[in-house]
Amino acid sequence: MKQFFRGATIVWVVLRFGLDELVLTSFQKPWLRLLARIVSVGRDLRAPRGQRLREALERLGPIFVKFGQVLSTRRDLMPPDIADELALLQDRVPPFDSAVAVATIERAFKRPIGEVFEHFEREPVASASIAQVHFARLRDRNGQRHEVAVKVLRPGMLPVIEKDLSLMRMMAGWVESLSADGKRLKPCEVVAEFDNYLHDELDLVREAANAAQLRRNMEGLSLVEVPIIHWDFCHAEVMVMERMNGVPISQVERLREAGVDIPKLARDGVTIFFTQVFRDGFFHADMHPGNIQVSLDPATFGRYISLDFGIVGTLTEFDKEYLAQNFTAFFRRDYKRVAELHIESGWVPPETRVNELEAAVRTVCEPYFDRPLKEISLGMVLLRLFQTSRRFNVEIQPQLVLLQKTLLNIEGLGRQLDPDLDLWSTAKPFLEKWMLDQLGPQRLRRELRDQLPHYAKILPALPRLLHDHLQRHSAPQQQRELQELLREQRHTNRLLQRLLYGGLGFVLGLIVMQIIVRVRVF
Please state at what angle helix 335-344 crosses helix 354-365, rounded to 10 degrees.
120
Residue 358 CA to chain centroid, in angstroms? Answer: 27
C-alpha to C-alpha distance for 310 and 204, rounded to whole angstroms? 7
Could you say which of 268, 286, 308, 418 is catalytic? 286
Q: What are phi and psi of 286, to 5 degrees?
A: -135, 55
Residue 157 CA to chain centroid, in angstroms? Answer: 23
Q: Provide the sign of the torsion angle of the four alpha carbons 336, 315, 272, 74, taken in this order.
A: positive
C-alpha to C-alpha distance for 506 and 519, rounded to whole angstroms? 20
Q: What are the contacts of 244-248 at 24+ separation with CB within 8 A?
A: 244/149, 244/293, 244/295, 244/305, 244/307, 245/295, 245/296, 245/297, 246/293, 246/294, 246/295, 246/296, 246/305, 247/293, 247/294, 247/296, 248/289, 248/290, 248/292, 248/293, 248/294
Give the residue from 321, 314, 272 showing the smallest Cα distance to 426. Answer: 272
Give the residue from 416, 141, 36, 443 showing the smallest Cα distance to 262. Answer: 416
The 10 Å Cβ neighbour count of residue 207 is 26
**3 state DSSP class of 153:** strand
Q: What are phi and psi of 306, to 5 degrees?
A: -100, 135
Identify whether 286 is a catalytic site residue: yes
C-alpha to C-alpha distance for 309 and 421, rounded to whole angstroms? 27
Give 102's contacts (C-beta < 8 A, 6+ positions apart).
113, 120, 122
Q: Contact at 8 Å (CB) between 304 and 268? A: yes
DSSP secondary structure code for residue 474 in this structure: -
Active site residues: 286
